[in-house]
Homo-oligomer: A and B are copies of this chain.
Amino acid sequence: MVRRAEVFRTKQGIDLLTGHRVTAIDTENRRVVGTTLAGGPFDRSYDRLLIATGSTAVIPDLPGVDLPGVTALKTLEDGRRIKHLLKTDAVRDVIVLGMGYVALEMVETLSALGIRTTMVKPNPVFLPWLAPELGEAVKAEVAANGVGVHAGHRPERIEARNGALKLVCADLELSADMVLVAVGVRPASKLAADAGLELSVSDAVSVDRRLQCSVEGIYSAGDCADAYHVVTGRKTWIPLALRANRAGWAVADNVCGQVNELEGVAGTAVFRVFGMEVARTGLNAAEAKAEGFDAAEMTIKGASRAHTYGKSHPLLVSAVADRKSGRLLGMQIVGREGAAHRINAAAVALHAGMTVAQYTQSDLAYAPPFGPTWDPTLIAANQLMKQL
């Protein structure tokens, strides 16, 4: 934990009420009501209210999902449960449901502990939000590290059998000591919805650029709230740490009377799985088409260092643009080094609303240990120009 409750109370003078569950917001009378741990009622008035209820792990409606040894990883309690299982039950095999960031970070961590892992999900495409070549490169890295990858298998039930857990799909049966559910999160927005506040994409709490909800005086920030997407200008729900943190600061400003309007998110995200860095920003080709853009896509294979330098690794870059306006809409990078921070140049370009032609003019850094003369993101943009 980054901060303990006492720090808020003693150092910051915040009246922090842990063990108080808010069950309803009375927007008319500006009050929140709920119950304490002891079961008694409580009731508080407010001038301004911030809803920062976060997100909750999606638990699929699957027979056996409540068996001991089946767990999500979202809360501190989940983390403690997993640590306990690993320590006391001599877990040697783990099935991971899902293939997102959390699922991939967990197979890496479990593998490092010497545990065999197997990933399962219904969608036959490993990372469907990545351009095909990039997704294949990540899948190959995961498989090369001994992880079983079963994409295209819908779990039907989990059974406890002979002291092990069995995951049953239509044409696949897997056995393990533990099942980790990592199929995504959803906004914890029920309290807001019950109070009559507007929800938007994915049922996230709808907020304006000042983080204010549909009812004046109520704000929302963090994984429960939506955001504007800087590429589409439309609402989106991409619950990541930087936006949550930035929104928290902005709410503080706005509540205190200092106007702070946020531009929104570009959908920039990065993770590492084993030796591979995976980064994205903006829209992929499918998202761009769904948003009504005339999407063009280009994938190139660059290098992480100058060819004269040696010790270089392939760097796959995929760039997406709108044929009509020439605008850069998104970029993705996968490689063993140099992918993570490289994505930020494209992210800034998205904020600036740059065309691909403008991006190709960027004076990016070059030295042999860090890349070729033309940065791979520039090579992708140069090649993409031919399609525009």
- A17 close to chain B: CB less than 8 A: no
Contacts of A346 in B (CB 8 A): 348
Verify B347–A363 contact, CB threshold 8 A. yes
Which of B243, B262, B272, B347 contacts A367, CB < 8 Å?
B272
- A30 close to chain B: CB less than 8 A: no
| Bound CA–CA A338/B370 (angstroms) | 10
Nearest CB in chain B to that of A370: its residue = B340
- A288 close to chain B: CB less than 8 A: no
> A230-271: contact bitstring with B at CB < 8 Å (1 yes, 0 no)?
100000000011110110000000000000001111111111
| Bound CA–CA A347/B375 (angstroms) | 13
Known: A281-B365, A341-B342. A359 touches B370 (CB 8 A): no
Verify A367–B342 contact, CB threshold 8 A. no
Contacts of A371 in B (CB 8 A): 341
Verify B242–A363 contact, CB threshold 8 A. yes
Contacts of A100 in B (CB 8 A): none
Nearest CB in chain B to that of A361: its residue = B263
| Bound CA–CA A263/B374 (angstroms) | 16
Instruction: Tell me the residues in window 31-76 of chain A with beta carbons closer than 8 Å to chain B beta carbons.
Output: none
| Bound CA–CA A369/B101 (angstroms) | 13
Contacts of A338 in B (CB 8 A): 341
Contacts of A373 in B (CB 8 A): 241-242, 245
Verify B340–A367 contact, CB threshold 8 A. yes
Contacts of A240 in B (CB 8 A): 366
- A316 close to chain B: CB less than 8 A: no
Per assembly, the copies of the chain total 2
> A325-348: contact bitstring with B at CB < 8 Å (1 yes, 0 no)?
000000000000010111111111
- A23 close to chain B: CB less than 8 A: no
Instruction: Tell me the residues in window 337-388 of chain A with beta carbons closer than 8 Å to chain B beta carbons.
Output: 338, 340-352, 354, 358-359, 361-367, 369-371, 373-375
- A279 close to chain B: CB less than 8 A: yes
Q: How far is the CB of A279 from chain B (nearest CB, A)?
A: 6
Q: How far is the CB of A82 from chain B (nearest CB, A)?
A: 17
| Bound CA–CA A152/B263 (angstroms) | 48
Which of B245, B268, B359, B366 contacts A365, CB < 8 Å?
B268
Contacts of A242 in B (CB 8 A): 363-364, 366, 373-375
Verify B365–A340 contact, CB threshold 8 A. yes
Which of B243, B341, B342, B365 contacts A363, CB < 8 Å?
B243
Verify A351–B362 contact, CB threshold 8 A. yes
Q: How far is the CB of A112 from chain B (nearest CB, A)?
A: 13
Verify B361–A347 contact, CB threshold 8 A. no
| Bound CA–CA A263/B352 (angstroms) | 16
Instruction: Tell me the residues in window 1-51 of chain A with beta carbons closer than 8 Å to chain B beta carbons.
Output: 2
A/B interface sample: 7 pairs, CB < 8 A: A241-B366, A266-B363, A267-B363, A341-B365, A344-B365, A347-B364, A348-B364
8 nearest interchain CB pairs? A352-B352, A341-B341, A344-B345, A270-B365, A266-B363, A340-B370, A263-B361, A348-B348
